[in-house]
Amino acid sequence: MKYLLPALLISLSSATIAQENNTIVESKAAPKNIIMIIGDGMGPAYTTAYRYYNDDPTTEAVEQTIFDKYLTGLSSTYPAADNGKVIGTVTDSAAAATALSTGFKTYNGAIGVDINKKPLQTVLEWAKLQGKNTGVVVTSQINHATPAAYLAHNESRQNYNDIADSYIDDGIKADLYLGGGWKYFIREDRDLVSEFKKAGFHYIDDYSGLTDLPKNKPVLGLFGNSGLPWALDDTNKYRLSAMTKAAVHHLSDYKNKDNGFFMLIEASQIDWAGHGNDIAGAMAETDDLAKTLEYLEHFVEHHPDTLVIVTADHSTGGFTVAANGIYEWHPEILRTMKHSVNYIAKKLAKESITNESASNLFSFTLTKDEVNLLLESKNNPEKQKSKGLYQDKRSSSAEKALLITVKNIIDLRSNSGWTSGGHTAIDVPVYAFGKGSELFKGHQDNTDIAKKIFTLFGQ
């Protein structure tokens, strides 16, 4: 397969890239390992909110988070021009991930292909050609838009089965895959899990298997039908952190360990929470990512030849920290929540709603008015307009109406605001630490991130 390669000087000043390349050559600063992390949908409002969510309320100061510690700049996210128009164009995850993985702008929905649908080489593919171990760790299905843009080439992100098939048919490109996807990899027409096993992969379908991965085999781990359960509902709410720790240990000790590794990590469901205007879910997913970064910080301290880059593909939901003209935001109720809004709505739809039962589900005491709102939604669901891109279509009308009311109660209690159920065009933060992290300072385009990775890997 012929690939188009990124022109490293496009979108970068020649002086800057020359200076960066000289720095790399003179100081031999190119890292052995690169870990690329995408907080899907994680615009700056999310990491700002996380600072207050994570704050110790017993102290006067607002404590710094792992994100604050390593902020290096911002990135623009727009996709390829639509009829010559760039300003005002909002990216989807596929186009953004393709920009981050290849250094090329493309159209929304594209997976590892350019605007003419020709395949583009990705940084993961290049790393594999350099003899490095490669891996992908996500909380979505492993054939979702972001991981697919590093592993596959397809004209549409919606071709989930074709993308999954390509992980075998186009050659196995990673030594480790962790995430969800049973419905795409174990189908009536094809059992890809069996094919991976025949190719020598060790397969696990439970988090407990992460603690005992064989050093001499590649790994496929699938832990959900499509995406993983919400962090608030999962058996391990820090499942991204757990998967990352297992993956880093495995890739560090696998067959090409002397050459280093490249790994993609995605906190996929920050975006899903944003689409659903679910601040409780968003904070729990961001917390899982923060714990992942804290582990990687420790890893880099002991493996200083490692570079970690963190960014978002776009921001989702138009989330605002404080709304309705009220100059307050109250994360304290979010810290106590033990269930996702989806779980709460499902339970309320099936069981009798009392102040005690509902308050137990929310993990904070509801007012009489809030309980009445829940009862009204359950008894008269037609009055509550349903919305939310990630709502189960099989849900009853009562459950759909309750889901909206549950989120409204949490928004009013925390004073959270939303302007959209989709993506927005704002710039997103970039964080970096480890060897070579200085290259990611300042403002850059999302394509620049891929170009710099290619440069660090010697292209």
Q: Name the one residue in this structure whose structure tokens are 């929470």.
A: 273
Active-site annotation holds for 93: yes
Does 282 share its domain with 354? no
Pairing of strands 428-434, 320-321: unpaired
Residues 259 and 368 in one domain: no
In-domain check, residue 390? yes
Q: What is the structure's pLDDT at 436?
A: 96
| From 93, 241, 340, 395, active-site residue | 93
pLDDT recorded at residue 24: 44
For 447, the token pair is: 């394509």
288 and 202 in a common domain:
yes
Cα angle 336, 339, 341 (rounded to 5 degrees) comes to 110
- Answer for the pair 366, 340: CB distance below 8 angstroms, yes or no: no
How many structural domains is the chain composed of? 2
* 336 shares a domain with 290: no
For residues 74 and 121, membership in a common domain is answered with: yes
Q: Residue 6 falls within a domain, yes or no?
A: no
* 111: in domain: yes
Residue 382 is predicted with a pLDDT of 83
- pLDDT at residue 21, rounded to an integer: 44
Residues 44 and 101 in one domain: yes
Kind of pairing between the strands at 315-316 and 423-424:
antiparallel
**What's the CATH code of the domain at 187?**
3.40.720.10
**Looking at the structure, do residues 275 and 343 belong to the same domain, yes or no?**
no
Give CA torsion, residues 269, 273, 274, 275, to 10 deg: 100
pLDDT score, position 395: 81
**What confidence tens digit (pLDDT) does each residue in 43-96 have?**
999 999 999 999 999 999 999 999 999 999 999 999 997 655 555 589 999 999
Which residue has 């838009």 as its token pair?
Answer: 145
Residues spanned by the domain of 409: 330-414
Low-confidence residues of the chain: pLDDT under 50: 7-27, 388-389
351 and 218 within one domain: no
For the domain that residue 359 is a member of, what is the CATH number? Answer: 1.10.60
User: Within this chain, do residues 114 and 251 fall inside the same structural domain, yes or no?
Assistant: yes
pLDDT value at position 384?
74
Same domain? 309 vs 338: no
Please tell me whether residues 367 and 336 are part of one structural domain: yes
